[in-house]
Amino acid sequence: MTSSGLALVEVTGVEKRFGTTRALRGVDVSLNAGQCLGLVGRNGAGKSTLVSILSGLSEPDAGSVRFGGAPAPRIGDIDRWREWIATVFQHSMIVPDLSVAENVFLGSTPRLVSWRELRARTRDIMREWGFDIAAQTPCRELSVEQLQIVEIARALARGAKCVLLDEPTAALERQAGLRLFERVRQLTAAGVAVLYISHHLEEVFEICQDVAVLRDGELVLTAPTASLSKDDLVAAMVGGVRHVQSAEPAEPAESGGSGESAGSGGSGQSGRSGESGPRGQSRSEELAAGGAEVLAVDDLAAQSAGGRVSGVSLRVHAGEVVGVTGLLSAGVATLGRAIAGAEPYAAGEVRMNGRRVPSGRRDLAQRAGIGYIPEDRRAEGFVAGLAVAENATMTIARQLSGPFGLLRPGRRAAAAAPLTSRLYLVSSGPGQPAGELSGGNQQKVTVARTLAHRPSLIVAITPTRGVDVASKELLLSSLADVAASGACVLLCTDELPDLAICDRVIVLVRGEVFTEFGPPPFDRDELIVATEGLSGTTYSAAHATAQEAAE
Amino acid sequence: MTSNQSPEAPVGAAVLSAGEQTPPSASRGAIGSWLATANVGVLREVALLPVLVLLIIVGTVVSPAFLTVSNFAGIGQQSSALGVVVVGESLILLIGGMDLSLESTFGLAPMVAAWLIVPVSAYGAGTDLSPYLGILVLIAVGAAVGLVNGLLIVKGRLNGFIVTLGMTIVLAGLQNGIVKAQTLFNLPQPFAYLGSASFGQLPVSLVVTAIIFILVGLFLRYHRTGRAIYAVGGNPAAARAAGIKVERIKIGVYIAGSILAAIGGLMEAGRVSAVTGQQGYQEGIIFSVFAAAVIGGVSLKGGRGNMIGAASGVILLGIVQDILDLANVSNYWIEAINGAVILFALVLARIVGGESTAEER
């Protein structure tokens, strides 16, 4: 890093703890005028915590933040904080009903508003930076890219000397992303410091002079990008093999026989995959014998809050567990929702056993045999006020009801009993409201509801999120059982260990199929590299040789 | 609840096998906590009982005429029409909606029917429709209003409050417009029968209303669609994810609610032997309708409430009204006192029943 003069932003020894989790452990970062520093790290590495500290939204437990050599303003003094550093968050902080000018000066409008002056000052900023958006346009009419420009203009209007861009290209088209890089270069050329946070390493190489890598709350690498290869960067993000293994939760005793997987899957693959590896292989042999095609997706395009997908085609056969993974914004959840009928799709086709499933009709998708375990169980997984048994049998109310549609509670409880016992669902009885259960048991209610209607395909979206270790194993094995009994599973998740139950894994990058892995076991590092949109062969080959050498 | 025994075994097994999980309920013991939840349920359903007892004591003290069969028959007859509308509104509240226009449907549906039935000399339309066909027309008017409301709210994604508020005014205007603000008397007996006839001392309207409460209550408890109504109101996204046709159920409930309001209007017309321009909207019955439902524990947020509660809400309001009448409260003050008593009852129901009617928790 350049050592001329005082650093614009200097973070020293910052620590942050949430309960027992140490989100940041003594992180040092410094940023000079005109510098563009990339900040990378996997999910949970501490990036968001650092962003929140740098944005003045939360206070570090230890360490200091200094601006231009002086201590940073106190937390909550947002106005003074913004004079130094302004953050363009991943989620838009624009009020859609206000005009561009009002949004640019949001929070810093004078007590008496002179509309003429507000617009004139907005025009000046736009002209100075070569942006082309009229000051009086209502923001709801703007594109995502233009909204981002308004946010950057807001940062510049405060005279911020440093701009923090959090995943700025997540919602942008490729061309818009390229234009953004142009703007970033323009900012740095004018002496503004930029902290660029991204999951996409190629972007970091494109516009950042330096890069800092966070892993498990520690700053493991800070170096000029020119001195690094992508493989170096990935290695720093993923970390050493032993380190990753120790970060994994302790495995149950049955992984004792995992010795056979130590050679190939050993890098980062913990005992869980070793245990399921042989099973997966025998299953894929069965598949070679020929499982009938159950789900066919062709050229699917859809958009939702969970990201955008376009031109996705895939096949799932009877008896198969297919994983879909990718970064948060890659459209993994959107793909699952669109296939399950929970979200309309804009183009393409979804067919179950050869028959077309209409867009956005969850009821028809269910009738076609698609079970759905939603991503957010509180929002979609169960009705809190209704009893466990009723929630678990909600999908089969029609089958359970007698003449005139009458439903006997006893029959419902009897139908729910095998499901709840199979999943070891702990409740005080079938009559307990689902809202009173613990998180893991609520998730079991959702899974029970899905298993109840005997779907020929289950679309599960991050089914183990927020679930304790024991329940996690149970939910995953119940999904694997479904496949073993001849149905199939589409597991959409960003939790890589969960993919161990899959026969194949499809990796989405920016809403498109990037690559496919299979059969298991899957190399964790290769998966990570692929989700970043990099072809992982060079890295993993080098990594494997290094590992062999070490052993 | 009767078959609580069968899943007992898996629960026990789960506690043994999944040792790390300690949900709060497991420690209490399965049966004990079942009793606790069951008791809460029973308590909630009879929450208004002490209030009703208190009111009956007050009524007895206020007037010797209160605790008589004929007085209670009168309360029953007067409350029946309101009660049927409360059933309709409760259904709509259960799916998480609201319908202000039920009060106008309550007036317009019998007005249209009577207008088609009575002769021109009595301000009729001149069609001299059979009273039986008139009742069908009344139900059709209710269904049509409900369908329009349902389509606008569910398919058109308009706000239910403003749609039904607008509908209220439109319907009330039609009610006066078609008969030029006249009152229609001389309703033929088949049309007036429901509201005016009685078996001995027992009004037919009271019997019919009681049957409607019981049937709807059983429907909500034991019918597939009734259960789906709770699921839709409790969590529409979860209901949709479970394959329930959320939109169809919502529209159906709006239609059912409006038909019930029309039937309530038929009872009211029979009771007073006329259809006036005031019936419904200008009487302002919607406040009493919402009050009865909410006092009875039907949640304004949807998904919670039952017909036992709704019925006790109606009975409570009926007794309050009767006591005010018997106490000879001055006509100038009766509205203010009536409103105050309902507000007081809402506060009381909040304390006893525990249901919050606040916007956000």
Point out which residues pair with A71 in neighbouring strands.
Answer: A66
As a whole number of angstroms, the distance between CA A411 and CA B32 comes to 23
Q: Do the beta carbons of residue B25 and residue A433 sit within 8 Å?
A: no
Q: Which residues of A touch B238 (CB under 8 A)?
A: 379-383
Does the pLDDT at position B215 exceed 80?
yes
Domain boundaries, chain A: 9-239, 244-369+456-550, 374-454
User: Which residue does chain B place closest to A369, by CA atoms?
Assistant: B243
- Predicted local distance difference test score (pLDDT) of residue A474: 86
Question: Domain for residue B361, yes or no?
Answer: no
More confident call, A458 vs B29: A458
Q: Which CATH superfamily is domain A9-239 in?
A: P-loop containing nucleotide triphosphate hydrolases (3.40.50.300)
Does the pLDDT at position A540 exceed 50?
no
Distance from CA of B280 to the nearest CA of A (A): 34
Q: Which residues of A touch B303 (CB under 8 A)?
A: 383, 385
8 Å CB contact of B8 and A436: no
Q: Are strands A62-67 and A70-71 parallel, antiparallel or unpaired?
A: antiparallel
Q: Which residues of B touch A401 (CB under 8 A)?
A: 223-224
Place of tokens 């039907």: B298
Are A9-239 and A244-369+456-550 the same fold in CATH? Answer: yes
**Phi, psi angle pair for A21, to nearest 5°:** -85, 130
pLDDT 10s digits, B219-263? 999 999 999 999 999 999 999 999 999 999 999 999 999 999 999
8 Å CB contact of B242 and A394: yes
A160 alpha-carbon distance from chain centroid? 30
Which member of B10, B231, B235 has the closest CB to residue A421? Answer: B10
Question: Domain for residue B322, yes or no?
Answer: no
Question: Domain for residue B112, yes or no?
Answer: yes
Does the pLDDT at position A56 exceed 70?
yes
Question: Domain for residue B41, yes or no?
Answer: no
Q: If DSSP states are collapsed to H, E and C, what string results for A274-298?
A: HHHHHHHHHHHHHHHHHCCEEEEEE
Which member of B3, B13, B34 has the closest CB to residue A428? Answer: B34
Does the pLDDT at position B181 exceed 50?
yes
Buried b (16+ CB within 10 A) or exposed e, B279-305: bbbeeebbebbbbbbbbbbbbbbbbbb
As a whole number, mean pLDDT of residues A349-354 equals: 94
Q: Which residues of A touch B23 (CB under 8 A)?
A: 426-427, 437-438, 441
pLDDT class for A241, splitting at 50, 70, 90? Answer: very low
**Phi, psi angle pair for A256, to nearest 5°:** -55, -35
More confident call, A349 vs A529: A349
Longest CA span, chain B: 83
Using a cut of 0.80, tell me whether the model's pTM lies above it: no
Residue to substitute from A383, A450, A467, interface B, most B β-carbons within 10 A: A383
Spatial CA neighbour of A320 closest among A485, A182, A473: A485
* Number of domains, chain B: 1
Parent domain of B117? 83-307
Does the pLDDT at position A215 exceed 90?
no
As a whole number, mean pLDDT of residues B200-206 equals: 92
Q: Which residues of A touch B243 (CB under 8 A)?
A: 362-363, 365-367, 395, 453
CATH of domain A244-369+456-550: 3.40.50.300
Which member of A380, A386, A390 has the closest CB to residue B241? Answer: A380
Alpha carbon separation from A165 to A39, A222, A230, A444, B191 (Å, rounded) = 10, 18, 21, 39, 73
ipTM: 0.77
As a whole number of angstroms, the distance between CA B142 and CA B259 comes to 4
Which member of A383, A441, A468 has the closest CB to residue B20? Answer: A468
Euclidean distance between the first and the last CA atom of chain B, given in angstroms as a whole number: 29
- Predicted local distance difference test score (pLDDT) of residue A519: 83
Q: Do the beta carbons of residue B113 and residue B268 sit within 8 Å?
A: no
8 Å CB contact of A414 and B3: yes
- Predicted local distance difference test score (pLDDT) of residue B17: 37
8 Å CB contact of B228 and A424: no
pLDDT class for B267, splitting at 50, 70, 90? Answer: very high
As a whole number, mean pLDDT of residues A81-107 equals: 84
